[in-house]
Amino acid sequence: MFKPLTLLMLFAAISGCQSLTRPVDYDSLLVRMRCMAIAGKKPLERDNLRYIERFADYENAMCKSSLGKMYKEGRYGVDQDFTKARALFVESAKLNPAANILLGQMAERGEGEPVDYAKARAFYRLSGKNATVALGRLMEEGKGGPQDLPGALALYLDSTERFDDSAWEAMNRLRKQGQPLSEAQKVRYQQLWMSGFLQEQKRRMGVREIFDAVNATGAAKIVKLSFRFKSDSATPQVTMLSGSGNSDVDSWVMEAASYISMADSAPLTDSSGELEIVAPLVFSPRDTRRMLFLCGGKRCS
């Protein structure tokens, strides 16, 4: 009996009593989302603070970060304490490296310690993609290290996950300011841009009026459009190369196409300065009740 009891006591000492009593869902998505939602809720409810503290003690990374933010801001029921905030961020980062962005922000802003851009860069690198824009900005400004515009652009483009995310916007800003793309970067830029164009086209063509007009004919309709972009424009000139044979369908398709725009991101073009995309579009009869459900009873746009 002595040996098993000794091992049990040793295990408790190593892992801590809290880990033996914490609920099985201590790190569930629901708990993480609740900690994030109630951390800044006003007016303060003491039960909310106790909930965050409890799950932070249970080693929930999001709850630790949320509690740390409360101490950093000195609101929501706790006094401002940068030391406690930093300690909670350090513990959170051990569980989830993405939390290093919070330590980077404190170093960059000089919260509770002198401003240290080099340290901020290091923390942003440890944080991964969610700190791409913050790290790239320091590289652009030459803070915490040498100014590196090509490196910042490469960082943004490599971290872009979709056409219009924050990394894309930062990259496109540098590109428009004259920072050139390498041949490999041009390929990636165009792939991401084309993916964004297809999503924009799908979104704009998913309107109730088009499907009402197609349903009225009782047959599938094919329309071929030409989208012609200039190198300095993100809005195309749209031409109907071949119609569906139904004036209502064609009219609604052209109206929907007139709203297509790639915000401030023009495509890359060849020496002609233009890019033409020819798009055959197929519209099949659908249940408009389904379209109304998808669009909340209103026109999809």
Long-range contacts of 34-42 (CB under 8 A, 24+ apart): 35/60, 35/62, 35/63, 35/66, 35/67, 36/62, 36/66, 39/66, 39/67, 39/69, 39/70, 39/76, 40/69, 40/70, 40/75, 40/76, 41/76, 42/76
Question: According to CATH, where is 1.25.40.10 located in the chain?
Answer: 11-175
- For the stretch 234-243, contacts whose Cβ atoms lie closer than 8 Å and that sit 24 or more positions apart, written own/partner, are 234/261, 234/262, 234/263, 234/264, 234/265, 234/266, 235/260, 235/261, 235/262, 236/260, 236/277, 241/278
pLDDT, block means (10 residues), the chain with 301 residues: 50 49 86 88 83 93 94 85 96 97 98 97 96 98 98 98 95 96 97 96 92 92 96 95 96 96 94 94 72 46 45
pTM of the model: 0.82
Q: What CATH number does the domain located at 11-175 have?
A: 1.25.40.10
Q: Residue 299: its pLDDT value, please?
A: 47
Intervals of CATH 3.30.1150 along the chain: 188-294
SS3 297: coil
Q: Which fold has domain 188-294?
A: 3.30.1150
Predicted confidence at residue 180, as pLDDT, reads 96
Residue 281: Cβ within 10 Å count: 17
Torsion region of 275: left, alpha or beta (phi above 0 gives left; psi -120 to 50 gives alpha): beta
pLDDT score, position 3: 55
The reported pLDDT for the residue numbered 27 is: 84
What strand order describes the sheet that includes 221-230? 237-242, 221-230, 274-283
Give the pLDDT of residue 39.
86
Closest C-alpha to 67, from 45, 40, 31, 47: 40
